[in-house]
Amino acid sequence: MKKIIVRILIGLAVLAIIAALAVHFLLDGAIKTGVETVGPKLIKVDVKLASASLSIFSGAGGVKGLVVGNPEGFKTPSAISVGTASLAVQPGSIFSDKIIAR
């Protein structure tokens, strides 16, 4: 009986580590996809993002190559163009309804 409990605990620990690694490696792509998918729907112009990074443990992150287009009728192709920018969020708020930026 003791061996079964130990194996179950080891299995749960391995699953927790795999889940944490999956979130760590997939979060950046999810942010990029979210910005490029939801952004244009909200503001009705093209939004492009070269890359994004966010650590779920420290809350530190950044974006590279953010370009927000201009609506029709404006002379310049983009309203905002950011080469690189850094950010920090409260780690516990990443998966909540309100993300708290610091």
Backbone torsions φ then ψ of 93, nearest 5 degrees:
-90, -5
Q: Measuring CA to CA, which residue among 97, 98, 91, 102 is closest to residue 27?
A: 91
CA dist., res. 86 & res. 102, Å (int):
11
Token look-up 């309100």 returns 98
Give this prediction's pTM. 0.70
- Taking the domains of the chain in order of start, what are their residue ranges? 2-93
Residue 54, token pair as written in the block? 């966010």
Give per-residue pLDDT as tens, 1-24.
788 888 999 999 999 989 888 877
Residue 68, token pair as written in the block? 């927000």
Give per-residue pLDDT as tens, 66-102.
999 998 889 998 999 999 999 888 877 877 888 888 7
Q: Which residues pair with 86 in a beta bridge?
A: 62
